[in-house]
Protein backbone atom coordinates (compact mmCIF):
# COMPACT_ATOMS: atom_id res chain seq x y z
CA UNK A 1 0.00 0.00 0.00
CA UNK A 2 1.29 3.45 -0.89
CA UNK A 3 1.43 5.91 2.01
CA UNK A 4 0.77 9.65 1.80
CA UNK A 5 3.26 12.19 3.18
CA UNK A 6 2.13 15.81 3.52
CA UNK A 7 4.29 18.93 3.70
CA UNK A 8 3.55 22.65 3.69
CA UNK A 9 5.40 25.82 2.69
CA UNK A 10 5.71 29.20 4.37
CA UNK A 11 5.31 32.43 2.41
CA UNK A 12 4.49 36.06 3.03
CA UNK A 13 0.92 37.36 3.19
CA UNK A 14 1.03 38.41 -0.46
CA UNK A 15 1.46 34.83 -1.68
CA UNK A 16 -1.63 33.00 -2.88
CA UNK A 17 -2.14 29.71 -1.02
CA UNK A 18 -1.23 26.69 -3.11
CA UNK A 19 -3.54 23.76 -3.49
CA UNK A 20 -2.56 20.40 -2.10
CA UNK A 21 -1.26 18.60 -5.18
CA UNK A 22 0.94 15.79 -6.43
CA UNK A 23 3.10 16.06 -9.60
CA UNK A 24 1.71 12.81 -11.02
CA UNK A 25 -1.88 14.01 -10.68
CA UNK A 26 -1.03 17.27 -12.41
CA UNK A 27 0.53 15.25 -15.21
CA UNK A 28 -2.48 12.95 -15.57
CA UNK A 29 -4.83 15.91 -15.55
CA UNK A 30 -2.85 17.65 -18.30
CA UNK A 31 -2.96 14.50 -20.47
CA UNK A 32 -6.69 14.17 -19.82
CA UNK A 33 -7.28 17.79 -20.89
CA UNK A 34 -4.93 17.98 -23.90
CA UNK A 35 -5.09 14.39 -25.19
CA UNK A 36 -1.37 14.09 -25.85
CA UNK A 37 2.03 13.88 -24.18
CA UNK A 38 3.29 16.90 -26.09
CA UNK A 39 0.17 18.89 -25.14
CA UNK A 40 0.65 17.98 -21.49
CA UNK A 41 4.30 19.07 -21.68
CA UNK A 42 3.25 22.46 -23.08
CA UNK A 43 0.49 22.79 -20.48
CA UNK A 44 2.95 22.19 -17.64
CA UNK A 45 5.88 24.04 -19.25
CA UNK A 46 7.99 20.88 -19.19
CA UNK A 47 9.95 19.05 -21.85
CA UNK A 48 8.42 16.11 -23.72
CA UNK A 49 11.30 13.95 -22.55
CA UNK A 50 10.67 14.81 -18.91
CA UNK A 51 6.94 14.05 -19.13
CA UNK A 52 7.58 10.76 -20.93
CA UNK A 53 10.21 9.76 -18.36
CA UNK A 54 7.94 10.59 -15.43
CA UNK A 55 5.09 8.57 -16.91
CA UNK A 56 7.29 5.52 -17.35
CA UNK A 57 8.77 5.93 -13.88
CA UNK A 58 5.33 6.06 -12.26
CA UNK A 59 4.03 3.14 -14.32
CA UNK A 60 6.92 1.07 -13.02
CA UNK A 61 6.39 2.31 -9.45
CA UNK A 62 2.64 1.59 -9.49
CA UNK A 63 2.76 -1.55 -11.61
CA UNK A 64 -0.04 -0.28 -13.87
CA UNK A 65 -0.32 1.43 -17.26
CA UNK A 66 -1.33 5.07 -16.94
CA UNK A 67 -1.75 6.02 -20.62
CA UNK A 68 -3.17 4.15 -23.61
CA UNK A 69 -2.15 4.84 -27.19
CA UNK A 70 -4.07 3.72 -30.29
CA UNK A 71 -2.71 4.24 -33.78
CA UNK A 72 -4.03 7.47 -35.24
CA UNK A 73 -5.79 8.38 -31.97
CA UNK A 74 -4.81 10.90 -29.29
CA UNK A 75 -3.31 9.62 -26.08
CA UNK A 76 -5.79 8.93 -23.31
CA UNK A 77 -5.59 7.83 -19.74
CA UNK A 78 -5.92 4.14 -19.05
CA UNK A 79 -8.82 2.92 -16.94
CA UNK A 80 -6.45 2.83 -13.97
CA UNK A 81 -5.16 6.32 -14.75
CA UNK A 82 -8.71 7.71 -14.93
CA UNK A 83 -9.64 5.98 -11.69
CA UNK A 84 -6.53 7.35 -9.95
CA UNK A 85 -7.13 10.92 -11.15
CA UNK A 86 -10.81 11.06 -10.22
CA UNK A 87 -10.25 9.37 -6.86
CA UNK A 88 -7.66 11.99 -5.94
CA UNK A 89 -9.92 14.83 -7.08
CA UNK A 90 -12.86 13.58 -5.06
CA UNK A 91 -10.74 13.06 -1.95
CA UNK A 92 -9.36 16.60 -2.20
CA UNK A 93 -12.84 18.06 -2.71
CA UNK A 94 -14.22 16.15 0.27
CA UNK A 95 -11.33 17.18 2.50
CA UNK A 96 -11.20 20.83 1.38
CA UNK A 97 -12.90 22.16 4.56
CA UNK A 98 -10.52 20.20 6.81
CA UNK A 99 -7.50 21.29 4.77
CA UNK A 100 -8.66 24.91 5.02
CA UNK A 101 -9.08 24.48 8.79
CA UNK A 102 -5.54 23.05 9.09
CA UNK A 103 -4.10 25.92 7.04
CA UNK A 104 -6.01 28.43 9.14
CA UNK A 105 -4.78 26.90 12.40
CA UNK A 106 -1.15 26.93 11.22
CA UNK A 107 -1.44 30.52 9.99
CA UNK A 108 -2.91 31.54 13.34
CA UNK A 109 -0.05 29.82 15.19
CA UNK A 110 2.60 31.55 13.09
CA UNK A 111 0.84 34.91 13.24
CA UNK A 112 0.91 34.82 17.05
CA UNK A 113 4.48 33.48 17.11
CA UNK A 114 5.76 36.39 15.00
CA UNK A 115 3.55 38.98 16.70
CA UNK A 116 1.89 38.21 20.06
CA UNK A 117 -0.37 41.23 19.47
CA UNK A 118 -1.49 40.14 16.00
CA UNK A 119 -5.14 40.79 15.16
CA UNK A 120 -6.87 37.41 15.04
CA UNK A 121 -10.60 36.93 14.46
CA UNK A 122 -12.20 33.49 14.79
CA UNK A 123 -14.86 32.77 12.18
CA UNK A 124 -17.00 29.63 11.84
CA UNK A 125 -18.95 29.54 8.62
CA UNK A 126 -20.98 27.56 6.17
CA UNK A 127 -18.81 26.40 3.28
CA UNK A 128 -18.41 29.18 0.73
CA UNK A 129 -15.91 29.84 -2.07
CA UNK A 130 -15.69 33.57 -1.36
CA UNK A 131 -14.48 33.19 2.22
CA UNK A 132 -10.98 31.86 1.37
CA UNK A 133 -10.59 34.94 -0.85
CA UNK A 134 -11.61 37.12 2.09
CA UNK A 135 -9.04 35.40 4.28
CA UNK A 136 -6.31 36.17 1.72
CA UNK A 137 -7.44 39.79 1.44
CA UNK A 138 -7.56 40.23 5.22
CA UNK A 139 -4.09 38.68 5.66
CA UNK A 140 -2.64 41.29 3.29
CA UNK A 141 -4.17 43.93 5.58
CA UNK A 142 -2.66 42.31 8.72
CA UNK A 143 -5.90 40.75 9.95
CA UNK A 144 -5.79 36.98 10.42
CA UNK A 145 -9.11 35.15 10.03
CA UNK A 146 -9.02 31.87 11.95
CA UNK A 147 -11.64 30.24 9.72
CA UNK A 148 -13.44 26.91 10.17
CA UNK A 149 -16.05 25.56 7.76
CA UNK A 150 -19.12 23.91 9.28
CA UNK A 151 -22.82 23.77 8.48
CA UNK A 152 -24.77 27.03 8.81
CA UNK A 153 -26.60 25.89 11.94
CA UNK A 154 -23.36 24.58 13.48
CA UNK A 155 -21.68 27.94 12.85
CA UNK A 156 -24.45 29.83 14.65
CA UNK A 157 -24.40 27.35 17.51
CA UNK A 158 -20.63 27.85 17.83
CA UNK A 159 -21.16 31.63 18.01
CA UNK A 160 -23.81 31.23 20.70
CA UNK A 161 -21.52 28.95 22.73
CA UNK A 162 -18.70 31.51 22.59
CA UNK A 163 -16.45 29.32 20.43
CA UNK A 164 -16.06 31.98 17.72
CA UNK A 165 -16.53 35.73 17.34
CA UNK A 166 -18.19 35.68 13.92
CA UNK A 167 -20.41 33.10 12.21
CA UNK A 168 -21.23 32.87 8.52
CA UNK A 169 -24.57 31.52 7.31
CA UNK A 170 -26.76 31.87 4.24
CA UNK A 171 -30.51 32.06 3.91
CA UNK A 172 -33.33 32.64 1.46
CA UNK A 173 -34.49 35.95 2.91
CA UNK A 174 -38.03 35.75 1.48
CA UNK A 175 -38.75 32.45 3.19
CA UNK A 176 -42.23 31.98 4.69
CA UNK A 177 -42.66 32.05 8.45
CA UNK A 178 -43.05 28.27 8.78
CA UNK A 179 -40.47 27.34 6.15
CA UNK A 180 -37.51 25.00 6.83
CA UNK A 181 -35.26 28.09 6.68
CA UNK A 182 -37.21 29.91 9.39
CA UNK A 183 -37.45 26.79 11.54
CA UNK A 184 -33.69 26.16 11.27
CA UNK A 185 -32.45 29.68 12.04
CA UNK A 186 -35.11 31.42 14.13
CA UNK A 187 -34.17 29.63 17.39
CA UNK A 188 -30.50 30.57 16.87
CA UNK A 189 -30.89 34.31 16.19
CA UNK A 190 -32.31 36.88 18.59
CA UNK A 191 -32.95 40.60 17.81
CA UNK A 192 -30.86 42.77 20.09
CA UNK A 193 -28.39 40.01 20.88
CA UNK A 194 -27.20 39.19 17.33
CA UNK A 195 -25.94 41.68 14.77
CA UNK A 196 -25.95 40.87 11.06
CA UNK A 197 -23.16 42.12 8.82
CA UNK A 198 -23.73 42.19 5.06
CA UNK A 199 -21.42 39.99 3.01
CA UNK A 200 -22.71 38.79 -0.37
CA UNK A 201 -25.57 37.62 -2.52
CA UNK A 202 -24.95 34.34 -4.33
CA UNK A 203 -26.71 32.08 -6.82
CA UNK A 204 -27.66 28.50 -6.02
CA UNK A 205 -28.80 26.03 -8.64
CA UNK A 206 -28.32 22.68 -10.34
CA UNK A 207 -24.79 21.53 -11.15
CA UNK A 208 -24.83 19.32 -14.26
CA UNK A 209 -22.39 17.78 -16.73
CA UNK A 210 -21.02 19.91 -19.61
CA UNK A 211 -23.72 20.47 -22.23
CA UNK A 212 -26.38 19.28 -19.76
CA UNK A 213 -26.82 15.92 -21.57
CA UNK A 214 -29.62 14.81 -19.25
CA UNK A 215 -31.67 17.91 -20.04
CA UNK A 216 -32.09 18.98 -16.40
CA UNK A 217 -33.70 22.42 -16.21
CA UNK A 218 -35.77 22.51 -13.00
CA UNK A 219 -36.06 20.90 -9.58
CA UNK A 220 -38.97 18.79 -10.81
CA UNK A 221 -36.56 17.04 -13.20
CA UNK A 222 -34.74 15.52 -10.21
CA UNK A 223 -37.52 12.97 -9.81
CA UNK A 224 -36.99 11.51 -13.29
CA UNK A 225 -36.02 7.86 -13.34
CA UNK A 226 -32.36 7.09 -13.93
CA UNK A 227 -30.97 10.37 -12.59
CA UNK A 228 -28.46 10.19 -9.75
CA UNK A 229 -28.49 13.10 -7.29
CA UNK A 230 -25.90 13.98 -4.64
CA UNK A 231 -26.86 16.11 -1.63
CA UNK A 232 -25.30 18.16 1.16
CA UNK A 233 -25.50 16.88 4.76
CA UNK A 234 -28.22 17.70 7.24
CA UNK A 235 -27.49 21.05 8.93
CA UNK A 236 -25.84 22.55 5.84
CA UNK A 237 -27.55 25.76 4.74
CA UNK A 238 -27.75 24.51 1.17
CA UNK A 239 -29.64 21.40 2.33
CA UNK A 240 -32.06 23.66 4.27
CA UNK A 241 -32.58 25.82 1.18
CA UNK A 242 -33.15 22.84 -1.11
CA UNK A 243 -35.68 21.27 1.26
CA UNK A 244 -37.56 24.56 1.36
CA UNK A 245 -37.67 24.89 -2.44
CA UNK A 246 -38.84 21.29 -2.79
CA UNK A 247 -41.58 21.87 -0.20
CA UNK A 248 -42.74 25.02 -2.00
CA UNK A 249 -43.04 23.08 -5.27
CA UNK A 250 -44.52 20.02 -3.51
CA UNK A 251 -41.76 17.74 -4.74
CA UNK A 252 -41.28 14.79 -2.34
CA UNK A 253 -37.63 14.31 -1.41
CA UNK A 254 -38.21 10.54 -1.33
CA UNK A 255 -38.79 10.63 -5.11
CA UNK A 256 -35.23 11.88 -5.76
CA UNK A 257 -32.74 9.04 -6.22
CA UNK A 258 -29.64 9.85 -4.17
CA UNK A 259 -31.25 12.44 -1.89
CA UNK A 260 -29.68 10.67 1.10
CA UNK A 261 -26.23 10.50 -0.52
CA UNK A 262 -24.18 13.27 1.09
CA UNK A 263 -20.97 15.17 0.37
CA UNK A 264 -19.47 17.74 2.78
CA UNK A 265 -19.03 20.79 0.53
CA UNK A 266 -20.02 22.53 -2.70
CA UNK A 267 -16.71 21.45 -4.21
CA UNK A 268 -17.36 17.83 -3.27
CA UNK A 269 -20.83 17.65 -4.86
CA UNK A 270 -19.49 19.35 -7.98
CA UNK A 271 -16.62 16.87 -8.13
CA UNK A 272 -19.11 13.98 -7.91
CA UNK A 273 -20.80 15.33 -11.05
CA UNK A 274 -17.46 15.99 -12.77
CA UNK A 275 -16.24 12.43 -12.25
CA UNK A 276 -19.54 10.94 -13.42
CA UNK A 277 -20.63 9.31 -10.15
CA UNK A 278 -23.65 11.65 -10.04
CA UNK A 279 -25.71 13.35 -12.74
CA UNK A 280 -26.78 16.42 -10.79
CA UNK A 281 -26.19 18.28 -7.54
CA UNK A 282 -27.54 21.42 -5.91
CA UNK A 283 -24.92 24.04 -5.09
CA UNK A 284 -23.20 27.30 -6.00
CA UNK A 285 -22.25 28.40 -9.49
CA UNK A 286 -18.55 28.96 -8.82
CA UNK A 287 -18.04 25.31 -7.79
CA UNK A 288 -19.54 24.21 -11.11
CA UNK A 289 -17.66 26.67 -13.31
CA UNK A 290 -14.28 25.88 -11.73
CA UNK A 291 -14.65 22.33 -13.03
CA UNK A 292 -15.99 23.18 -16.48
CA UNK A 293 -19.49 22.02 -15.57
CA UNK A 294 -22.78 23.58 -16.58
CA UNK A 295 -25.08 25.34 -14.15
CA UNK A 296 -28.84 25.90 -14.07
CA UNK A 297 -29.62 28.90 -11.80
CA UNK A 298 -32.57 28.35 -9.47
CA UNK A 299 -32.51 31.09 -6.83
CA UNK A 300 -30.46 33.78 -5.11
CA UNK A 301 -29.82 33.95 -1.39
CA UNK A 302 -28.08 36.19 1.08
CA UNK A 303 -24.84 35.20 2.76
CA UNK A 304 -24.40 36.97 6.08
CA UNK A 305 -21.83 37.30 8.81
CA UNK A 306 -23.24 37.55 12.32
CA UNK A 307 -21.75 38.44 15.66
CA UNK A 308 -22.98 39.17 19.17
CA UNK A 309 -23.76 42.75 20.12
CA UNK A 310 -20.92 42.88 22.67
CA UNK A 311 -18.37 41.97 19.95
CA UNK A 312 -19.41 44.62 17.45
CA UNK A 313 -16.96 47.30 18.64
CA UNK A 314 -13.95 44.99 18.94
CA UNK A 315 -10.98 46.37 16.93
CA UNK A 316 -10.65 43.13 14.93
CA UNK A 317 -14.31 43.21 13.92
CA UNK A 318 -14.10 46.88 13.00
CA UNK A 319 -11.05 46.04 10.89
CA UNK A 320 -12.99 43.28 9.09
CA UNK A 321 -15.87 45.64 8.36
CA UNK A 322 -13.50 48.18 6.81
CA UNK A 323 -12.07 45.48 4.54
CA UNK A 324 -15.57 44.38 3.49
CA UNK A 325 -16.60 47.96 2.73
CA UNK A 326 -13.53 48.62 0.56
CA UNK A 327 -14.18 48.70 -3.18
CA UNK A 328 -11.08 46.55 -3.77
CA UNK A 329 -12.68 43.65 -1.87
CA UNK A 330 -16.08 44.09 -3.49
CA UNK A 331 -14.57 44.05 -6.98
CA UNK A 332 -12.66 40.87 -6.16
CA UNK A 333 -15.82 39.24 -4.84
CA UNK A 334 -17.81 40.10 -7.96
CA UNK A 335 -15.22 38.44 -10.21
CA UNK A 336 -16.26 35.13 -8.63
CA UNK A 337 -19.00 33.55 -10.74
CA UNK A 338 -22.42 33.68 -9.12
CA UNK A 339 -21.56 36.30 -6.47
CA UNK A 340 -22.56 39.93 -5.98
CA UNK A 341 -21.59 42.36 -3.26
CA UNK A 342 -24.58 43.07 -1.04
CA UNK A 343 -24.11 45.84 1.55
CA UNK A 344 -20.76 44.31 2.46
CA UNK A 345 -19.59 45.36 5.90
CA UNK A 346 -22.82 47.14 6.85
CA UNK A 347 -24.55 46.32 10.12
CA UNK A 348 -28.07 45.24 9.16
CA UNK A 349 -31.36 44.99 11.01
CA UNK A 350 -32.10 41.35 11.81
CA UNK A 351 -35.86 41.81 11.71
CA UNK A 352 -35.93 43.80 8.46
CA UNK A 353 -33.50 41.56 6.56
CA UNK A 354 -35.02 38.29 7.80
CA UNK A 355 -38.77 39.01 7.88
CA UNK A 356 -39.55 35.37 8.66
CA UNK A 357 -38.14 35.95 12.13
CA UNK A 358 -41.14 36.28 14.43
CA UNK A 359 -40.41 38.28 17.55
CA UNK A 360 -42.78 38.83 20.46
CA UNK A 361 -41.75 40.65 23.59
CA UNK A 362 -42.56 38.73 26.79
CA UNK A 363 -45.58 39.97 28.71
CA UNK A 364 -44.83 42.14 31.73
pLDDT 10s digits, 77-105: 888 888 788 778 777 777 776 777 677 67
Query: Residues 6 or more apart from 244 whose CB is under 8 A from it?
Result: 172, 175, 179, 180, 181
Whether the Cβ atoms of residue 150 and residue 124 lie closer than 8 Å to each other: yes
* pLDDT at residue number 38: 86
Q: Say if 333 falls within a structural domain.
A: yes
Q: How far apart are CA 311 and CA 330, in angstroms?
A: 24
Assign 27 a pLDDT band (cuts: 50, 70, 90): confident
Angle between helical axes of 23-34 and 79-114 (0-180°, round to 10): 130
Task: Decide which of 44, 77, 110 is a domain's last residue.
Answer: 77
Task: Decide which of 77, 111, 142 is a domain's last residue.
Answer: 77
What's 342's DSSP letter? -
Same domain, 152 and 70: no
Query: Structural domain tally of the chain?
Result: 2
Nearest to residue 33, comparing CAs of 262, 267, 210? 210
Same domain, 61 and 129: no
Same domain, 102 and 228: yes
Same domain, 182 and 224: yes
Give the least confident one: 21-30, 46-55, 189-198, 334-343.
21-30
Assign 14 a pLDDT band (cuts: 50, 70, 90): low
CATH number at residue 67: 1.10.10.10
Same domain, 189 and 249: yes
**Residue 284 to residues 142, 208, 212, 293, Cα–Cα distance (Å):** 29, 12, 16, 12
Whether the Cβ atoms of residue 309 and residue 194 lie closer than 8 Å to each other: yes
Pair type for strands 280-284 and 229-230: parallel
Same domain, 210 and 317: yes
Same domain, 65 and 165: no
Q: Say if 88 falls within a structural domain.
A: no
- In three-state secondary structure terms, 6 is coil
Q: Say if 3 falls within a structural domain.
A: no
Same domain, 330 and 297: yes
Task: Decide which of 77, 106, 140 is a domain's last residue.
Answer: 77
Look at residue 248 and tell me whether its pLDDT is greater than 70.
yes
Tell me how long the chain is. Answer: 364
pTM of the model: 0.77
CA 274 to the chain's CA centroid? 15
* pLDDT at residue number 52: 87
Structural domain of 208: 95-353
Q: Say if 83 falls within a structural domain.
A: no
Q: Say if 56 falls within a structural domain.
A: yes
User: Mean per-residue pLDDT for 352-363?
Assistant: 64
Q: Say if 192 falls within a structural domain.
A: yes
Residue 117: Cβ-neighbour burial (10 angstroms; 0-12, 13-18, 19+)? exposed
Same domain, 269 and 338: yes
User: Mean per-residue pLDDT for 210-221?
Assistant: 96
Degrees, nearest 5: CA angle 38-39-42: 90
User: Mean per-residue pLDDT for 143-168?
Assistant: 94
CA 124, 126, 129, 130 torsion-angle sign:
negative
CATH number at residue 116: 3.40.190.290
Residue 243 half-sphere exposure toward CB, CA atoms < 13 A: 20
Same domain, 30 and 145: no
Same domain, 192 and 250: yes
Residue 103: Cβ-neighbour burial (10 angstroms; 0-12, 13-18, 19+)? middle
356 vs 139, which has greater pLDDT?
A: 139
Look at residue 358 and tell me whether its pLDDT is greater than 60.
no
**Residue 144 to residues 101, 115, 125, 139, 207, Cα–Cα distance (Å):** 13, 11, 15, 5, 33
277 vs 14, which has greater pLDDT?
A: 277
**Mean pLDDT over each residue of the chain, to the nearest integer:** 87
Q: How far apart are CA 185 and CA 183, in angstroms?
A: 6
Same domain, 226 and 326: yes
Amino acid sequence: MHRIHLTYALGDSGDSPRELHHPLMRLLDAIHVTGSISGAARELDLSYRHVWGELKRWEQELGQDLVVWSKGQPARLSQFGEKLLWAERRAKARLAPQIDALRSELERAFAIAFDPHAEVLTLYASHDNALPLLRETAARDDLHLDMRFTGSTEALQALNRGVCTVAGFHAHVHSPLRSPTAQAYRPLLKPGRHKLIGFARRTQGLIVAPGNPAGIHALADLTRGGLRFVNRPWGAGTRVLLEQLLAQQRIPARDIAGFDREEPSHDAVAEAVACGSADVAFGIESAARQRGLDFVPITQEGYFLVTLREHLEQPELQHLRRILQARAWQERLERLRGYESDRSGEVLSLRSVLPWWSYRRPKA
